[in-house]
Amino acid sequence: MAINPNNSLDNNHTCYCGASGAGKTVAVKRFGLVGRNAALFDPYGDYRASRVRKLSGLGGRPVHHYKTRNGFKKAFIAAWSSGRSFAVAYQPDAKGDALRVEALWFGKLMWAASDGNRRLDLVFEETGKYTDTTGAERSILGEIASGGRKFGLVAHWVFQRPSEVPKTLIANATRYVVGEQQAMLDARRWQAELDCSIDEIVELGQLNKKRTKYFLDKTKGIGNYKKVSVSF
C-alpha cells in the first residue's frame, strides 16, 4: 500500500481543459510537466508512437502500451522497481461503465504502488469519459486528487469541459492549463478559477492555428497565469 507519507510534499496536480482539438494532449506532451516516472491511463492510445517526432509518445519520450491488466501490471511493477525512468500506458479496450471500472483498477494499482519518497506522475486522458458526477468523487480517483500528494502522486487530469468532471479533481489541482473552450459556460468557469477576463479565454480559440495552440497556464497563487503557445 501507499508508503512513506510526507506532508511536506507539494501538490502538483494539473488539469488540462479544452474543446476537442484545443491541444490538451499536445500540452501534456510538450509542457514537460510529467515527471520521469510516468504511468498513463490512455484509453484512446493518444500517446502511441507518431511520425511527428515532437508528438510521439510523451513528446518524443517513448511510451510502452499494454492492453491487458496483467500485461500492464507486470510492466509497471518491473519499471517502478527498476529505479529507472519510465513511461507505461494502460489502454484497455472498454467503454462507458466498463471503462470506469478499468480507470478505478488503474487508480488502485497506482495508489498501492505510491511512495512518499518517490514521485510518480499519472496521466488520466479524457477523464470525463469515466467519471460520473460533477460533485464529489468518492472513488480512488478522488483519493488520488485529495490525498495522493503526500505519497508522491502527481495527477494530470485531461478533459474537455469543467462541467464533465468531479469538482474534487479540479479543486485539488494547483495548475490549470486552459485551452480553447467549447462554451461560454466553460469559459466563465475558468475565468473564475484564473481570475482573468472572459476575453482572454475567448481569444485562445481565435489565436489557434492548425499547428500552434494557445493556452492560459495558471500556477499557484491568485491571478498567477500567463498566455503560452505550443507549436508542432
Ligand X SMILES: Nc1ncnc2c1ncn2[C@@H]1O[C@H](COP(=O)(O)OP(=O)(O)O)[C@@H](O)[C@H]1O
Query: Does 18 participate in binding ligand X (rule CB under 6 A)?
Result: yes
Q: Which one of ligand X, Mg ion, none interacts with residue 205, CB within 5 to 8 A by kind?
A: none
* CA dist list (Å): 69 to 92, 101, 104, 128, 133: 8, 12, 12, 21, 25
CB of 51 to Mg ion, least distance (A): 17
Does 24 sit near ligand X (CB under 6 A)? yes
Determine contact, residues 186/228, Cβ cutoff 8 Å: no
Contact 196, 180 (CB under 8 A): no
59 binds ligand X (CB under 6 A): no
Within its chain, how far is the Cα of 107 from the centroid?
A: 13
Q: Which is nearer to ligand X, 80 or 130 (CB)?
A: 130
Amino acid at 189: R
Least CB distance from residue 33 to ligand X, whole Å?
A: 14
Residue 177 sits at φ, ψ, to 5 deg, of -105, 105
Q: Does residue 205 bind ligand X (CB under 6 A)?
A: no
In angstroms, the CA 10 to CA 148 distance is 10
The binding site for Mg ion (CB under 5 A) comprises: 24-25
Report if residue 129 touches ligand X, rule: CB under 6 A.
Answer: no
Least distance between Mg ion and beta carbon 57 (Å): 14
Q: Round to whole Å and give the CA distance between 71 and 35.
A: 23
Please answer whether residues 134 and 167 qualify as being in contact, where contact means their C-beta atoms are separated by less than 8 angstroms: yes
According to DSSP, residue 191 is labeled H
Q: Interface with ligand X includes 58 (CB under 6 A)?
A: no
Contact pattern for ligand X over residues 143 through 172, marking x by CB under 6 A: ------------------------------
CB 18 to Mg ion: min, Å: 9
Residue 55 site contact among ligand X, Mg ion, none (CB < 5 to 8 Å, cut-off depends on kind)? ligand X
Q: Which of these, 175, 172, 173, lies nearest to 219 by C-alpha position?
A: 175
Question: Considering CB distances under 5 to 8 angstroms, the limit depending on partner class, which of Mg ion, ligand X, none binds residue 197?
Answer: none
39 binds, among ligand X, Mg ion, none (CB under 5 to 8 A by kind): none
Report the alpha-carbon distance of residue 159 to residue 103 in Å, rounded.
14
Interface with ligand X (CB under 6 A): 18, 20-26, 50, 52, 55, 213
